């Protein structure tokens, strides 16, 4: 990624409890002078940086999701693998990227929700379903590529 001036108001919101790309987000944020808000239900370490803020929410089932969704908007990039959270954030105008690099958009979120619901129904009916595939270096690379594309697109639309 080439360093470019990012819009001052642009920030990255990270659904952090199970996020495997936090270190990548921190590096990109530092390079682009972006604010990062790391939201988690349990304490976790974040680098000392004026760009990174850690928010510890309560233990409620959707406390982190609710905190992120209430603050996501057109000035946000949300990093999450949680499809219902992604849907809420897409609806608010945020750019949303899964840790494997998959962008969630208004065109794709409906199918993602439908597949999630189908798999939940199959598991409830006793069907054995495979979990998500293991996270790979290729996923990490795809995430960085999509984050770069998203930053460039947002920079162009705000310039």
Residues paired with 38 in a beta bridge: 14, 54
Between CA 116 and CA 108 the distance in angstroms is 13
Residue 119: pLDDT above 70? no
Residue 93 — left, alpha, or beta (φ > 0 → left; ψ -120 to 50 → alpha)?
Answer: left
Nearest in space to 148 (alpha carbons), one of 77, 85, 89, 93:
77
Please work out, in degrees rounded to the nearest 5, the angle formed at the alpha carbon of residue 45 by the alpha carbons of 47 and 10. 55
What pLDDT score does 8 carry? 45
What pLDDT score does 123 carry? 66
Give the H/E segment covering residue 71.
helix 63-71
Residue 152 CA: distances (Å) to CA of 1, 35, 146, 157: 10, 16, 10, 9
Contact 90, 109 (CB under 8 A): yes
pLDDT, tens digit, for every residue of 44-103? 999 999 999 999 998 888 899 999 999 999 999 999 999 999 999 999 999 999 999 999
What pLDDT score does 1 carry? 45
Per-residue pLDDT, averaged over 1-16, amounts to: 69
Place of tokens 């996270």: 135
Instruction: List, in order of start, the domains of the chain with CATH numbers.
Output: 11-158 (3.40.50)
End-to-end CA distance of the chain: 18
Residue 5: pLDDT above 60? no
């Amino acid at each position: 990624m080439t360093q470019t001036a990012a819009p001052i108001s642009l920030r990255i919101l990270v659904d952090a409890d199970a996020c495997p790309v936090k270190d990548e987000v921190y590096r990109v944020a530092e390079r682009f002078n972006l604010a990062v808000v790391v939201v988690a239900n349990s304490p976790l370490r974040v680098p000392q940086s004026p760009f990174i803020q850690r928010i510890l929410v309560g233990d409620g089932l959707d406390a982190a999701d609710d905190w992120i969704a209430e603050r996501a908007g057109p000035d946000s990039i949300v990093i999450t693998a949680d499809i219902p959270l992604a849907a809420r954030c897409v609806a608010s105008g945020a750019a949303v990227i899964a840790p494997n690099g998959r962008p969630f958009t208004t065109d794709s979120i409906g199918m993602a929700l439908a597949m999630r619901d189908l798999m939940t129904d199959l598991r409830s009916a006793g069907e054995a379903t495979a979990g998500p595939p293991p996270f790979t270096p290729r996923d990490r690379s795809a995430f960085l590529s999509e984050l770069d594309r998203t930053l460039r697109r947002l920079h162009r639309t705000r310039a």
